Structure 1
Amino acid sequence: MKHAFERITGAAFLPAQLRGGVVAIGNFDGVHRGHQAVLERALAEARRRDVPALVLSFEPHPRTVFQPDIPLYVITPPPMKARLIAELGFAALVQQPFDREFAGQSAEEFVTHILDEGLGISHAVTGFDFHFGKNRQGGPAFLMEAGERHGFGVTLVDAFRDEGAEVVSSSRIRILLEQGEVAEAAGLLGYRYTVEAEVVRGKQLGRELGFPTANMALPENTGLKHGIYAVRLRRADGTLHDGVASFGRRPTVDDNGAPLLETFVFDFSGDLYGERCAISFFGFLRGEVKFDGLDALIVQMKRDETEARALLSGARPLSDLDRRLTFAAG
């Protein structure tokens, strides 16, 4: 049963035609290979039943509610998470607002108000360690028993392990990205790490140096290592362009600046200002360096361009999702 993808804020706003579906439940930050194992089971179950496939996640990330003083590097902010869920083939992503009041409801209230009355689900799919309700009182056994009472089935999916037999987790991926290991992170994500933002007007210094850049301000909690990366830019119209990007504070020209993502797009002369673009990271080239003047910076930027072009020319899709995100023009 095919539906146009919808991003919905809260179970109470689910359209009638999407009730009775199969729902994958979890936070899914990163939508990594472990999450995809859960999501693929939900899609398969929905196809078998010929009902809509939905994802239920929670925004903001529950950890930011329970530990507000500890910054959390969110791998996939809500818009990016929605895009990935849509690419996988779901009918809708329900992003349930999460606050202290919501967290204080009992496990039975969650099942009754969200899964039964709100979404009217026919089946739930979740990870084997999913807990919910006040003080995490609801677990897999509770969910299965509640499903029998409320009339929906439950599928639990075991932890997904990588080729080294380690569990794939959002925490592992955050650490890799904080170290600049974007190629290794892609192996766990199943696609190239991607960010989206509006292109904003900068100081035009790159244009003066012969390297005009598309500048983007990323969320404050972005923990990606500062440095130079080989990247691919996707425009709003779906066209793809290779480039080299700097993420950081630009120490040679602006020591005190806020972190900024600046992408030099190869062989491109158009205007991107005001356009929301996606940047996918293929490889880390080097860390940030403060050069002795602009001439030395220009020499290094030319080397960065050569290295990035070589890296990107040999890149291949990691998965069907990666192909759609970073290889197939829209």
Structure 2
Amino acid sequence: MYYWRDLADVPEGFGPAVVTIGNFDGVHRGHQSVLQQLVEAARERDAAAVVISFEPHPAQVHRPESAPELIMGLQDRVETLADTGIDGLLMMHYTLDLAAQTPEEFVRSVLVDGLRAKAVVIGHDVRFGRGNSGDLSTMQALGNQLGFDVIVIDDFGSNLQGKTAAAGERRCSSTWVREALVAGDVTTAARILGRPHRMRGEVVHGAARGRALGFPTANLAPESTGFIPADGIYAGWLIDSSQVRWPAAISVGSNPTFEGVSRQVEAHVIDRPLEEIDVFDLYGQTVIVEFVRRLRGMVAYRGPEALIDQMRLDVAQTRTVLSTEQRTYG
């Protein structure tokens, strides 16, 4: 997949292309349905399938105080989009200057001159250009004027079965993913996304309480990317920098058994003898943590002994959950 961070990076003469535009936070099943239709339309026209997206999220520029927390970081968004089979991704730096372009200026400079668009794939509710003044009829008029087709996707999304959402059904959306994660329902989030929700970050030193209790953990740095789900204990996976997947019991939150512990995400890799811990040194590595199922909420225990007993139960339950995990989500 071609990956461009600026319109100037697109090679002169690139194209023709079939293009779609969106933020694609989460790259959930609804997004995947759109991108599948994009690729099909491009293949029919002997053109490249190209996605235009934005970094940072436009809401972070226009209303940072109320912008939604992003489901995934930039690296995961790029990698997941690449897996959909598209040919190119133009990740435009979103600024007030870009937002000030009229619909015609944006379409001429980016779609026509930059990408030589044969067609544009959009939904009925598309908005673009200065003050979101451009809509579907605007795009269709510009297509007639400038020589590209406009392919309208009726629903612009799908339901949890991956089918086009019918009337009365909830279509897959980034908002729905966030709602599920706020509730700690990573199972529903995975069904909307089509894969487990993940975070990515560097492993940093913590207070070493887990090691002292016999359950050493890999602590993610505070600046890690990905939506942090509700506090609790989860069964999941830790993927190290060599792309090795390790089964893990994951803790999210501040441990209420100990005072003065700030909120954090930490993963205990299960079934590794204590004598191997020094060999399994993740400090400084950038790792991925995937959330498969929430096991319980956070509870304050009466001392370390009760906590250790519960952690043993958590590890046993994690082992059971992961041994039966479905690798497809539907």
Q: TM-score, normalised by structure 2?
A: 0.88
Alignment-derived partner of residue 169 in structure 1: 173
Indicate how the Cα distance of structure 1 residues 311 and 18 shifts in structure 2: closer, same or farther if over 3 A, else same.
farther
- With 283-292 and 232-241 compared, the bigger mean Cα shift is at 232-241
CA root-mean-square deviation:
2.1
Indicate how the Cα distance of structure 1 residues 227 and 202 shifts in structure 2: closer, same or farther if over 3 A, else same.
same
Of the three residues 7, 28, 47, the one matched with 1:32 is: 28
Indicate how the Cα distance of structure 1 residues 295 and 7 shifts in structure 2: closer, same or farther if over 3 A, else same.
farther
- With 291-300 and 43-52 compared, the bigger mean Cα shift is at 43-52
Alignment-derived partner of residue 306 in structure 2: 296
3-state SS, counterpart of residue 70 of structure 2 = coil
Indicate how the Cα distance of structure 1 residues 161 and 250 shifts in structure 2: closer, same or farther if over 3 A, else same.
same
3-state SS, counterpart of residue 68 of structure 1 = coil
Q: Structure 1, unaligned stretches of length 5 or more?
A: 323-330
Are 1:90 and 2:93 an aligned pair? no
Q: Verify the 8 A CA contact 2:201 2:223 in the aligned structure 1.
A: no
- With 61-70 and 102-111 compared, the bigger mean Cα shift is at 61-70
Larger gyration radius, structure 1 or structure 2:
2
Q: Verify the 8 A CA contact 1:37 1:157 in the aligned structure 2.
A: no
Alignment-derived partner of residue 113 in structure 1: 109
Of the three residues 186, 192, 195, the one matched with 1:188 is: 192
User: In 2, distance between residues paired with 1:66 and 1:232?
Assistant: 36
| One-letter amino acid of the counterpart of residue 72, structure 1 | P
Q: Verify the 8 A CA contact 2:59 2:67 in the aligned structure 1.
A: no
User: In 2, distance between residues paired with 1:97 and 1:21?
Assistant: 21
Q: Verify the 8 A CA contact 2:99 2:129 in the aligned structure 1.
A: yes
1:201 deviates by 2.2
Are 1:178 and 2:182 an aligned pair? yes
Q: TM-score, normalised by structure 1?
A: 0.88
Are 1:240 and 2:245 an aligned pair? yes
Indicate how the Cα distance of structure 1 residues 39 and 298 shifts in structure 2: closer, same or farther if over 3 A, else same.
same
Of the three residues 248, 255, 259, the one matched with 1:250 is: 255
Q: Verify the 8 A CA contact 2:199 2:228 in the aligned structure 1.
A: no
3-state SS, counterpart of residue 79 of structure 2 = helix
Of the three residues 129, 145, 148, the one matched with 1:149 is: 145
Indicate how the Cα distance of structure 1 residues 275 and 126 shifts in structure 2: closer, same or farther if over 3 A, else same.
farther
1:274 deviates by 1.9
Of the three residues 49, 56, 59, the one matched with 2:52 is: 56
Indicate how the Cα distance of structure 1 residues 264 and 46 shifts in structure 2: closer, same or farther if over 3 A, else same.
same
Q: Verify the 8 A CA contact 1:229 1:283 in the aligned structure 2.
A: yes
| One-letter amino acid of the counterpart of residue 28, structure 2 | H
Q: Verify the 8 A CA contact 1:18 1:52 in the aligned structure 2.
A: no
Alignment-derived partner of residue 266 in structure 1: 270
3-state SS, counterpart of residue 245 of structure 1 = strand
1:255 deviates by 3.2
Alignment-derived partner of residue 279 in structure 1: 289
1:32 deviates by 0.8
Give a deviation string over 1:67-100, Cα, whole Å, max 9, x none.
1112521112211111111122223322111122
Identity %: 36
Give a deviation string over 1:239-287, Cα, whole Å, max 9, x none.
2111110111223235342x32100112344222222221111101111
